[in-house]
Structure 1
Amino acid sequence: MAININSLQGNTPSSTQVKTDQVEQQTQRQQATVQQNASQAPNQKQDSVSLTPQAQQLTRLTEKASNSSGIDQEKVDKIKQAISEGKYKINVEQLAKRIVEFESELFGR
């Protein structure tokens, strides 16, 4: 902030000095308000949140689901082993029925 020293006359404050004084007073008022609010803060009750056991369980299950890959690797390994040993049996009637159901849903027939 620049001060125009050409407009200074004796004891009469310049408009810049008046503005500076006003800004300083406003700053002091704001600081006093902040200090007053800070001193009142310990007397105020703090907000708190508590979760029900069901909400805590839901949170744990959600985290577990997001961390899982969605693939049951143990089941995949068992099927691979059964196929390689020739023990995996395919129910062709059930397979055909599900293919027909899928196509009817897909094409709306």
Structure 2
Amino acid sequence: MAIEITGRTSGLTTISPPLKSGVDAEKKVAVANTEESDSVALTATTQEIKKTLSSSSSSPVDVDRVNAIKKSLADGSYSINAEQVAKKFMQFERLMP
């Protein structure tokens, strides 16, 4: 993700030195503020990711399935198929260089 910040400037404030007595100091203080807005430019990839995340209505996690697995782990009824786990390990190893 690339972020480019452009046009950033700090405000300029000019204040005159204290004046002699008898002169209204508040009227003689000159303050000049300049403001420019900051901007951020997002790459096309970042914009696509943002669009995809905002348009997805469902959660990437199946909460019902997670809760069912937690429950079966807690009550001891969750079974692990060792043969299936071994097959998945073998598939993974074949993918490694």
Report the structure, 1 or 2, having the larger strand content.
Answer: 2
Report the structure, 1 or 2, having the larger helix content.
Answer: 1
Higher relative contact order (CA 8 A, sep 6+): 2
Normalised by the length of structure 2, the TM-score is: 0.41
Larger Rg: 1
